[in-house]
Amino acid sequence: MDPSLREIIAQAVTDARKGGLDAVAQRGAAVTLLTAMIPSLDADTIRLIVDQLYPFIAELGAAA
């Protein structure tokens, strides 16, 4: 089963946090990973998806 968009972004953010990256770099990591995993999406769509989901994922990570 393929991972959901939320799972892909959450994994990228988690890995970036473990590496000590800030919020901007975490978003960049999410964009990069999503681009690699779903190359059929254009860059603007990927950024929109990450921009919409990142706040929820960041909030969950802060609560963990």
Residues 31, 33: Cα–Cα separation, whole Å: 6
pLDDT digits (tens, 9 = 90+) for 9-52: 999 999 999 999 999 999 999 999 999 999 999 999 999 999 99
* Intra-chain end-to-end CA distance of the chain, in Å: 25
pTM of the model: 0.85
| Confidence band of 1 (pLDDT split at 50, 70, 90) | low
Rg (CA), the chain: 11
Looking at residue 60, what is its pLDDT? Answer: 77
Which CA distances in Å does 55 have to 1, 2, 15, 60? 25, 23, 16, 9
Looking at residue 21, what is its pLDDT? Answer: 96
| Confidence band of 59 (pLDDT split at 50, 70, 90) | confident
